[in-house]
Amino acid sequence: MSKGITKRAENYSQWYNDIVIKADLAENSGVRGCMVIKPYGFAIWEKMKAQLDIMFKETGHENAYFPLFIPKSYFAKEASHVDGFAKECAVVTHYRLKTTENGDIIVDESSKLEEELIVRPTSETIIWSTYKKWIQSYRDLPILINQWANVVRWEMRTRLFLRTTEFLWQEGHTAHETSPEAIAETNQMLDVYADFAEQWMAMPVIKGSKTESERFAGALDTLSIEAMMQDGKALQSGTSHFLGQNFAKAFDVKFTSKEGKEEFVWASSWGVSTRLMGALVMAHSDDKGLVLPPKLAPIQVVIVPIYKSEEQLKTISKKVDEITQKLKDKGISFKFDDRTTYRPGHKFAEYELKGVPVRLAVGMRDIENGTIELARRDTLEKNIYDIKGIENVIEDLMDEIQQSIFRKALKFREENTHKADTYEEFKDIIKNKSGFVYAHWDGTPETEQKIQQETKATVRNIPFDSPEEEGVCMVTGKSSKKRVLFAKSY
């Protein structure tokens, strides 16, 4: 069983790789650090994308598209931004190839670009240079734009979905009259991400602010949602940045206010990426394969016929048609796998690997008894139901499974969340138990760095819902008003 999947307990990262490959989500390509997202994986991404897009539009945003290439000079305008990305940019220097006498293809040196083009690692600079042209008056504000795009960051080490050289994402870029408005937008979008993670991915997250050292390059404040993976590590699953007037100043984007004064625009940006696919895999899957929340499963119900002759298959198919019609009416997606080329056991294993939430099996025995076998992917429970009304059972189950895997993930997080009051205690937990640790910290980058170097754990964020509490930093003994969230991370 579970052919070829490494056990979670044996080697977690190998397990992750096996699931991604064997469940047919993605594979490595011939291009360093870049993956091919396969149809099944892309179908899940499309479902995520569709829902996020609805949520963005409900909060007043519109989609647009900006260029893949950014002139190098744009980067020079915001100093901390270029610092943050300079080391991981792909640069286009030429625009033509030529064939040599012996048939080799080489870069035509005569086609050297006057100014190099950077393949976008993120689009703040190209977007703000455009916004400059769009904004003159307070009447032009706010601008609430999102773009679905691919970006390139030349990372040292890559892993399928979690960190690839090229990845797909959405990036929202908004412009506002006032600071409070931009901050409200930043918070609103973090809430959208958290809702999506919890309601759709069934993955509980912790909302909070990043520390100064983990802030986005060019932001005044970076908010994040952090989720716990099954190995106890944290995965940053979405970020929302308050950019202040940094980009407005860098690109000279001013507007005339109601009072007739010229002011710089306030900004936010926010994004989630195909990394969410990695989060989805690591949050719920098991040693048998993927476990998908019904709301994101490309196929919610699979029906496997069990037959000994073509005639039997015909009889079963007829019965199945009645069921699928009712599922269709309820808007539940399904697949009737009547392939004659594979046997039932093979199909069972295959759909478990692919994480299909509900499996139905129908054989002649069932036809005679008016029953059907239903198996849940999340719990692996199997039960016999009356065929009559099975669509209602399934409809309820979609909800139940969605909630059940969320509860399971939440319970796991709670069981692996600790409090530490001394540094010794902290080190012990990080080393021997892993998971999340709430502890007091003096708020300085120096202490943060020391902790990271000594334990490999970092401040994931300063949680919004962490209660005010007088305490002292576990390392320096300086006073602290709130516990922050520490963990090892991806």
Q: Which stretches of the chain bind RNA, using CB under 7 A? A: 1-5, 13, 17, 28, 30-33, 87-88, 153, 155-159, 162-165, 167, 214, 216, 224, 236, 239, 271, 273-275, 288, 306-309, 340, 342-346, 348-350, 352-353, 361-366, 373, 375, 380, 382, 456, 489-490
Give 142 or 435: the residue with its C-beta nearer to RNA.
Answer: 435
The nearest distance, CB 219 to RNA, in angstroms, is: 10
Tokens encoding 47: 């479902």
The nearest distance, CB 279 to RNA, in angstroms, is: 10
The nearest distance, CB 480 to RNA, in angstroms, is: 23
CA atoms within 13 A on the CB side of 384: 8
Kindly give the pairing relationship between strand 254-256 and strand 234-244.
unpaired
DSSP H helical segments within 119-257, as ranges?
A: 124-134, 179-195, 246-250
Residue 252 and residue 220 in contact, taking contact as beta carbons nearer than 8 Å: no
Residue 235 and residue 247 in contact, taking contact as beta carbons nearer than 8 Å: no
Q: Which residues does 82 contact at the CB level (< 8 Å), separation at least 6?
A: 75, 76, 217
The nearest distance, CB 170 to RNA, in angstroms, is: 12
Q: Tell me if residue 201 falls in helix, strand or coil.
A: coil
Nearest CA to 90 out of 80, 75, 105, 108 is that of 75
Cα 267 from Cα 269, distance rounded (Å): 7
The nearest distance, CB 187 to RNA, in angstroms, is: 18
Q: Which residues does 427 contact at the CB level (< 8 Å), separation at least 6?
A: 454, 455
Give 20 or 248: the residue with its C-beta nearer to RNA.
Answer: 20
The nearest distance, CB 258 to RNA, in angstroms, is: 36
Residue 80 and residue 241 in contact, taking contact as beta carbons nearer than 8 Å: no
Residue 171 and residue 122 in contact, taking contact as beta carbons nearer than 8 Å: yes
- Count of CB atoms situated within 10 Å of the CB of 227: 27
Residue 349 and residue 1 in contact, taking contact as beta carbons nearer than 8 Å: yes
The nearest distance, CB 275 to RNA, in angstroms, is: 4
Tokens encoding 359: 């499996």
Give 47 or 275: the residue with its C-beta nearer to RNA.
Answer: 275
The nearest distance, CB 210 to RNA, in angstroms, is: 9
CA atoms within 13 A on the CB side of 284: 35
The nearest distance, CB 28 to RNA, in angstroms, is: 4
Give 49 or 153: the residue with its C-beta nearer to RNA.
Answer: 153
* The residue to which tokens 């994402």 are assigned: 169
Give 363 or 443: the residue with its C-beta nearer to RNA.
Answer: 363
The nearest distance, CB 351 to RNA, in angstroms, is: 8
Q: What is the 3-state secondary structure (H, E, C) of 281-319?
A: HHHHCECCECCCCHHHCCCCEEEEEECCCHHHHHHHHHH
Give 158 or 402: the residue with its C-beta nearer to RNA.
Answer: 158
Give 352 or 378: the residue with its C-beta nearer to RNA.
Answer: 352
Give 164 or 324: the residue with its C-beta nearer to RNA.
Answer: 164
Give 17 or 256: the residue with its C-beta nearer to RNA.
Answer: 17
Q: How many helices (H) and strands (E) does the chain have?
A: 14, 26
Nearest CA to 375 out of 358, 389, 387, 363 is that of 358
For 238, the enclosing helix (H) or strand (E) is strand 234-244
Give 256 or 404: the residue with its C-beta nearer to RNA.
Answer: 404
The nearest distance, CB 317 to RNA, in angstroms, is: 14
Kindly give the pairing relationship between strand 358-363 and strand 301-306.
parallel
Tokens encoding 459: 């401040």
Give 135 or 302: the residue with its C-beta nearer to RNA.
Answer: 302
